[in-house]
Amino acid sequence: MSTIRLQRMPIAPARIALVLRLLSVVLALLTTAILLWATGRDPIALGAKVLSSTFGSSFGLEDLALLFSPLIYCGLAVAVALRIGAWNIGAEGQFNFGAFCATGIALFVPGPTWLMLPLMALAGMIGGALWILVPTLARAYADVSELITTLLMNFIAMLLVYWVATGPWLDPSGMALATTARLPVSVPPIWGIVHWGLPVAVMLAIALALVFTYTRWGYEVRIAGANPGAAAYAGMPVKRQLIAVMLLSGALAGLGGMMEAAGTVGRLQGGISNNYGYIGIMVAVLARAAPLGVLATAFFMAVILNGGIVLQSQGLTTHTVLAVTGLILLYAAIGDEAAHYKILRNKTGES
């Protein structure tokens, strides 16, 4: 005779965690399908409609790419911070402030396109880094939780964008409400309305994966994230690494904001982030903070968001998409915890 018991392991096996992540997505979609069926809708027909509208035309693929790009930037921003054990919940605010800074350069600094685009990108990155600076210093030197500070900074940045877009920077032509004038320079397109923001995001993900895997700095960041005490004992500058990683995190989100304003939207407007910063948290969590994993999960979330647009055309509300993303995160959290447990068999009489 033998008894079965569960033992919690300190580290979850990567393969098991990946399988449970995939299972969480399947369960979330299955739960959504059951709920749709219970309300009298055909989930198979709706799913087919989503897939055909997304992948069956160049229009659908272009829309998918435009959603894919900002999710990569925000997902990378959150994932980079997670590498050192920090939670950047403020990618939404950094995205907005990056777009704000880039727009300011475009509207008030004259110059040729070849010069303006790098300046706008630099302004966006600096803006994103500045927006996370106070929470970073508070975490590094006062041990203040970055969860709260980065979250609160979001609301300030979003309200700032709304204010300038409806007030000081409002389009003087009166052609549009709650938005600035169209930016005089824009990120060049590569296919239809898809611009260079997408390949730049993909290249950044690859570069970050190489840096975290093969450089000494990446190794120290991983050690500091896994065990700050051991890293400090080994002589690694934990606080300096934390500050560098957090500023990099903000800069990535800020660059995403610049690409959205100068590439996709063409102007600064209220709600420009479209909740990309918050969805980026889910992207990073599902990717287990792996830069290359962010590409896969950002693509999946882009399909979900694009599917939400299609579902709205079928009479469903945006709450359906929120429900799907919430279920995915819920099941992923349960799966992450389950991955830490191992089944052990004890023979009767053994302790």
What is the per-residue pLDDT across 295-306, written as a single tens digit (0 to 9) for each? 999 999 999 888
Torsion of CA 77, 82, 86, 87, to 10 degrees: 60
From the list 120, 110, 267, the residue with the least C-alpha distance to 182 is 267
As a whole number, mean pLDDT of residues 252-257 equals: 98
What does the pLDDT read at residue 45? Answer: 87
Structure tokens at 63: 């829309």
* Contact present, 90 and 78 (Cβ < 8 Å): no
As a whole number, mean pLDDT of residues 141-153 equals: 95
Q: What is the pTM assigned to this prediction?
A: 0.91
Q: What is the CA radius of gyration of the chain?
A: 22
From the list 176, 288, 166, 167, the residue with the least C-alpha distance to 225 is 288
Round to whole Å and give the CA distance between 125 and 130.
9
* Contact present, 50 and 310 (Cβ < 8 Å): yes
Q: Helix axis angle, 238-259 relative to 58-82, nearest 10°?
A: 160
What confidence category does residue 347 fall into, taking pLDDT thresholds of 50, 70 and 90?
Answer: low
What is the per-residue pLDDT across 110-144, written as a single tens digit (0 to 9) for each? 999 899 999 999 999 999 999 999 999 999 999 99
Which residues have a Cβ under 8 Å from the Cβ of 224 and sit 6 or more positions away? 84, 85, 231, 236, 238, 241, 242
What confidence category does residue 10 fall into, taking pLDDT thresholds of 50, 70 and 90?
Answer: low
Round to whole Å and give the CA distance between 62 and 46.
21
The full set of domain ranges for the chain reads 42-315
What is the per-residue pLDDT across 196-250, written as a single tens digit (0 to 9) for each? 999 999 999 999 999 999 999 999 999 998 888 888 888 889 999 999 999 999 9
* Contact present, 277 and 154 (Cβ < 8 Å): yes
Instruction: State the architecture of 42-315 in CATH terms.
Output: Orthogonal Bundle (1.10)
Structure tokens at 324: 């799907």
